[in-house]
Amino acid sequence: MVNYFSSIDAKSKSKSNQKPIPFRNSVFNDGRYFLNQRWVYLVISPRAEGLSIGVNVNPDRYCNFDCIYCEVEGPRPKVAGPCPIHHVSTALENALRLVQENRIHEIPPFRSLPEELLQLKSVTLSGDGEPTLCPNFTELIESVIRLRAGGLFPFFKMVLITNGTGLHLNEVRKGLKYFTLTDEIWVKLDVGTQDEFIIVNRARCSLKEVIQNILLIGKKRPIVIQSLFPESNFRPIDSISINSYVQCLIKLIRNGAQIASVQIYSAHRPASDRQCGHLPLRDLSAIAREINRETGLNTRVF
Ligand code: SF4
């Protein structure tokens, strides 16, 4: 199959010969296409390696991080309301039917895309805020599981994309029991020190708490680490920062976290902080090689 994405597997150090398809102002690179509602969207995602249906778990945009590179626009209210399960479930069923009936080609941004890019790779629990802070997280997962088990659609993989802060909550642990080993959990880890955590993620919790939660889940099942390295104040990331981040990964591994892979990327869409930019591919590749050399982990650059 043609590789439509510009990812590099640092383990093999091989680079695709294919020219990446331009993604700005398109459905590529996590540009989301909402289907006339706010609960579910379609996206052609390099990290999902194709078409993903995204579930907007936090339409109220609640998140306890305020990352300098955050691409969610608009003000973020402090209190999360419950996710409207019925609306989400109906919207997800409609999106799955659209894919199953091969009608995505009728939507203008998807019209000219090749068939293989429109094969569903996953249903992603993500959206405008932090999904693990959704107060009815379990109910939401149960509604997705019901659709998956109902036999109306081919089996699909679920992917939870999280900043890790709610992984210890009973509500979330209960919901994650429905995850099979086919499903995936992608957890954000951008830095290796509390000082940098404050600068980059501007979170209302400590890095230590996030690490504890990564361990909590990573000891039970393989996880994917998602690491975004922004160019901040137009300065490239320094080797001390990379080293502390790598040491953090090493500690996680030594303490029993099963890390299936590390996704390395940088800011793309316009960020809220105008000083935050995109780190060049050569820098991201160098970081990936360093991680691979020091930890042996499989790394991919996007
Ligand atoms: S964790 Fe995600 S939603 Fe929250 S501020 Fe960071 S990028 Fe934005």
What length does the chain have? 302
- Of all atoms in ligand 1, which is nearest to the CA of residue 64? 4
More confident site: 270 or 93: 93
- What's at 267, amino acid-wise? A
pLDDT digits (tens, 9 = 90+) for 151-193: 999 999 999 999 999 999 999 999 999 999 999 999 999 999 9
Residue 37: what pLDDT?
A: 82
Residue 120 structure tokens: 């569903």
Task: Using alpha carbons, select from 8, 7, 1 the residue that is nearest to residue 28.
Answer: 7
Domain edges within the chain: 8-301
Indicate if ligand 1 lies below 6 Å from the C-beta of 130.
Answer: yes
- The CB of 65 under 6 Å from ligand 1? The reply is yes
Residue nearest to atom 5 of ligand 1 (CA): 66
Which numbered atom of ligand 1 lies nearest the CA of 63?
4
From ligand 1's centre to the CA of 76, what distance in Å?
10
Question: Residue 52 and residue 117: Cα distance in Å, rounded?
Answer: 10
Q: What single DSSP character describes residue 184? A: E
Q: Is 74 left (phi over 0), alpha (psi -120 to 50) or beta?
A: left
Question: Mind listing the pLDDT tens digit for each residue in 56-67?
Answer: 998 888 899 999
Q: Which amino acid, residue 74?
A: G
CA atoms within 13 Å, Cβ hemisphere of 113: 25
Q: Does the beta carbon of 129 sit less than 6 angstroms from any atom of ligand 1?
A: yes
- pLDDT band at residue 231 under the 50/70/90 scheme: confident
CATH architecture of residue range(s) 8-301: Alpha-Beta Barrel (3.20)
Residue of 74 and 90 predicted with greater confidence:
90
Regarding the beta carbon of 163 and ligand 1, being less than 6 Å apart is answered yes
* Mean pLDDT, the chain, whole residue set: 87
Residue of 47, 56, 61, 63 to test ligand 1 pocket, by largest number of atoms within 8 Å of CB? 63
Ligand 1 pocket test target in 30, 65, 66, 125 with most atoms within 8 Å of CB: 65
Residue nearest to atom 7 of ligand 1 (CA): 70
Comparing 126-130, 170-174, 224-228, the range with the smallest average pLDDT is: 126-130
Q: Whose CA is nearest to atom 8 of ligand 1?
A: 70
Site to probe by mutation for ligand 1, drawn from 72, 197, 205, 266 as the one with most ligand atoms within 8 Å of Cβ, is 72
